[in-house]
Amino acid sequence: MNRSTLIFAVICCLCIALAKAQVAPDCSNAVPICNNTPVNGGTNDYGSDDFKGADKSGCLEKTLSGAIESNAAWYRFRTGASGQLGFNIGFNSNEDWDFALYRSSDCNSLGDPIRCNFFDNRDANSFIGVGVDPQGTADNVQYEDWLEVLPGEDYYLLVNNFSNNNSGFSIQFKGQIFFTNPYDALDCSIVNNLLGPPVAACSNDNIVLDATTADAISYAWYRDVGYGYAVIPGEVSATLQVLEAAFYRVEVITQSQNNIISDVQVGFSPAPTTAPVGDEFLCLDSEYYYLSDKDEEALGGQSGNEAIISYHSSLADAEAGVNALPTEYKLQIGEQRIYIRASSAQNPRCYDASENFKLTVHQPLIPNFPLEVFLCEGEVGAEIGEMVPDPTYNYLWDTGEPTSHITVVQKGEYTLTISDELGVSVCDNTFVIKVYASRTPHIKEVLIEDLQDSNTITIVPDGEGDFEYRLDEGAYQSVNTFYEVPPGVHRVTMNDLNGCGMAMESIVVVGFPKFFTPNGDGANDVWNIVGISTLEEPILTVYNRYGKLLKQFSQNNIGWDGTYNRVALPSDDYWFKLSYRDQDGQRIVAKYINNHFALKR
pLDDT over 50 (residue 525): yes
Between residues 14 and 170, the one the model is more confident about: 170
pLDDT over 70 (residue 177): yes
Mean pLDDT for the chain overall: 86
Kindly tell me the burial class for residue 99, based on how many C-beta atoms sit within 10 Å of its own C-beta (0-12, 13-18, 19 or more).
buried
In this predicted structure, which of 66-75, 415-424, 580-589 has the lowest mean pLDDT? Answer: 415-424
Write the DSSP symbol of residue 22: G
Distance CA 116, CA 18 (A): 29
Between residues 465 and 12, the one the model is more confident about: 465
Cα angle: 446, vertex 449, 451; to 5 degrees: 145
Q: Write out pLDDT tens, residues 232-250.
A: 999 999 999 999 989 898 8
Distance CA 23, CA 40 (A): 6
Residue 483 identity (one-letter amino acid): Y
Q: For 372-438, which CATH class?
A: mainly beta
Q: Write out pLDDT tens, residues 445-481.
A: 988 887 666 788 999 998 888 899 999 999 999 999 9
Distance CA 92, CA 124 (A): 9
Q: Write out pLDDT tens, residues 41-100.
A: 678 889 899 999 999 999 999 988 889 999 999 999 999 999 999 999 988 888 999 999
Between residues 218 and 510, the one the model is more confident about: 218
pLDDT value at residue 300: 92
In the CATH hierarchy, which fold is given to the domain comprising 515-599? Immunoglobulin-like (2.60.40)
Fold equal for 16-190 and 280-362: no
Distance CA 322, CA 4 (A): 5
pLDDT over 60 (residue 3): no
pLDDT value at residue 18: 32
Number of C-alpha atoms within 13 angstroms, CB side, residue 405? 17
Cα angle: 568, vertex 572, 578; to 5 degrees: 90
Q: For 280-362, which CATH class?
A: mainly beta
Kindly tell me the burial class for residue 396, based on how many C-beta atoms sit within 10 Å of its own C-beta (0-12, 13-18, 19 or more).
middle
Q: State phi, psi for 576 to the nearest 5 degrees.
A: -145, 160
pLDDT value at residue 40: 66
**What is the arithmetic mean of pLDDT over 568-592?**
88
pLDDT over 90 (residue 23): no
Can you give the residue ranges of every domain in the chain?
Answer: 16-190, 199-269, 280-362, 372-438, 443-509, 515-599
In the CATH hierarchy, which fold is given to the domain comprising 199-269? Immunoglobulin-like (2.60.40)
Q: For 16-190, which CATH class?
A: mainly beta
pLDDT over 90 (residue 498): no
What does the DSSP assignment read for 530-549? Answer: BSGGGSSS-EEEEE-TT--E
pLDDT value at residue 116: 96
In this predicted structure, which of 78-87, 284-293, 483-492, 525-534 has the lowest mean pLDDT? Answer: 525-534
Phi-psi group of 409: left, alpha or beta (phi > 0 → left; psi -120 to 50 → alpha; rest → beta): alpha
pLDDT value at residue 584: 84
pLDDT over 60 (residue 6): no
Q: Are 422 and 394 in contact (CB under 8 A)?
A: no
Write the DSSP symbol of residue 190: G
Residue 594 identity (one-letter amino acid): N
pLDDT value at residue 234: 95
Strand 127-130 and strand 393-397: the pairing is: unpaired
Q: Under CATH, which number does the domain 443-509 receive?
A: 2.60.40
Residue among 38, 121, 40, 134 at smallest CA distance from 86? 134
pLDDT over 80 (residue 360): yes
Across 131-259, the runs of DSSP E, i.e. the strands, are 143-144, 147-149, 154-161, 169-174, 199-202, 207-210, 216-224, 230-231, 239-242, 246-254
Q: Which residues contact 184 (CB under 8 A, 6 or more apart)?
A: 80, 81
Q: Are 127 and 214 in contact (CB under 8 A)?
A: no
Q: Are 272 and 344 in contact (CB under 8 A)?
A: yes
CA dihedral angle for residue 19, residue 22, residue 26, residue 28, rounded to 10 degrees: 160
Q: Write out pLDDT tens, residues 287-339.
A: 889 999 999 999 998 888 888 899 999 999 999 888 999 989 998 888 899 99
Distance CA 554, CA 557 (A): 6
CA distances from 385 to 183, 425, 569 (A): 67, 18, 70
Q: Which residues contact 391 (CB under 8 A, 6 or more apart)?
A: none
pLDDT over 60 (residue 16): no
Helix/strand/coil (H, E, C) string of 84-99? Answer: EEEEEEEECCCCCEEE
Kindly tell me the burial class for residue 292, based on how many C-beta atoms sit within 10 Å of its own C-beta (0-12, 13-18, 19 or more).
middle
Q: Write out pLDDT tens, residues 125-165.
A: 889 999 999 887 778 899 999 999 999 999 999 999 987 77
Q: Are 176 and 147 in contact (CB under 8 A)?
A: no
pLDDT over 60 (residue 12): no
**Residue 359: pLDDT band with limits 50, 70, 90:** very high
**What is the arithmetic mean of pLDDT over 356-362?**
90
